[in-house]
Amino acid sequence: MGEAIGEANVTVGSEGPIARLTLTRADKLNPLDWATVRELKDAVAAIEAKSEVYAVIITGRGRSFSAGGDLDGYIGLYRQPEKFALFLDDFHRMLGAIEASSKIYIAAINGVCVAGGLELLLACDLVVAAASAKIGDGHLNFGQLPGAGGSQRLPRAVGLLRAKHLMLTGDLLSAEQAQQIGLVNEVVADGELEAAVTALATRLGDKSRVGLRGAKHLANLTLTTDLETGLKREIDFVHRYATTQRDATEGLVAFKEKRRPVFSS
């Protein structure tokens, strides 16, 4: 990627329309402590303002995507309830910003992805994992509970029974097992993760940017609405898209003329 600008725990890099966020505390398995969460929150906000960026890759340095929270830090936060509430609010806002973003977020799971790491994965739109990755909830292995949306997003991703199994047992899944239950879109050889996730992000660039944003918005309606409401909102959204967005017509004309569409950037 291009030149990286970063703080202590997160680097932000970009190469044209694809941005990259990398958790950098490999020696600590990339914990999502308060400082890191704040850096991610700021980075997501900064990227959101970049109209030229349509895709964001999130990954970790070393052998871990993220092994979750900073357990030592939690001990101190638990003794300061007001500060702990602020931390949880920052974590929720950061993940909510990813979920609500106009960009497509791709999690590149390079290794261990547990607890808060899983919660970060669940907020992303697409997930590519290295074959050796281990993925799970793991909170109860240390007497903890998922507090950054994991208890709500996990059942929506894999179903209630599977989510309860992962939460109650603390079991870690292989990348292949995670793919089988719908936590991962694609599993690749360890040495191919970088190329695979970059190729996926690049392939998305062939699509209409406004269409990408629209598809993400429509799919995410299922997280907050019942079926009847979602269907009504879909009708309204698609009607507005088809009748006001140039790309909707351009795609049809290009197909008719047997050429590649030229979508708006």
The predicted pLDDT at position 116 comes to: 95
Reported as half-sphere exposure (CB side, CA atoms, 13 A), residue 235 has a value of: 5
The predicted pLDDT at position 16 comes to: 87
The predicted pLDDT at position 15 comes to: 77
Return the bridge partners of 57, or none.
Answer: 20, 106
Q: Domain limits of the chain?
A: 5-204, 209-256
Report pLDDT digits (tens) over 158-189.
999 999 999 999 999 999 999 999 999 999 99
**Does the pLDDT of residue 251 top 70, yes or no?**
yes
**CB-based contacts of 236, cutoff 8 Å, min separation 6:** none
Q: What does the mean pLDDT of the chain come to?
A: 93
Report pLDDT digits (tens) over 107-135.
999 999 999 999 999 999 999 999 999 99
The predicted pLDDT at position 59 comes to: 96
The predicted pLDDT at position 7 comes to: 52
**CB-based contacts of 13, cutoff 8 Å, min separation 6:** 1, 2, 3, 4, 5, 6, 19, 20, 22
The predicted pLDDT at position 35 comes to: 94
* 5-204 homologous superfamily: 2-enoyl-CoA Hydratase; Chain A, domain 1 (3.90.226.10)
Q: Mean pLDDT, to the nearest integer, of 194-219?
A: 95
The predicted pLDDT at position 22 comes to: 96
Percentage of the chain beyond pLDDT 70 is 97
Look up tokens 């958790």; give the residue. Answer: 23
Q: Mean pLDDT, to the nearest integer, of 64-70?
A: 92
**Does the pLDDT of residue 95 top 90, yes or no?**
yes
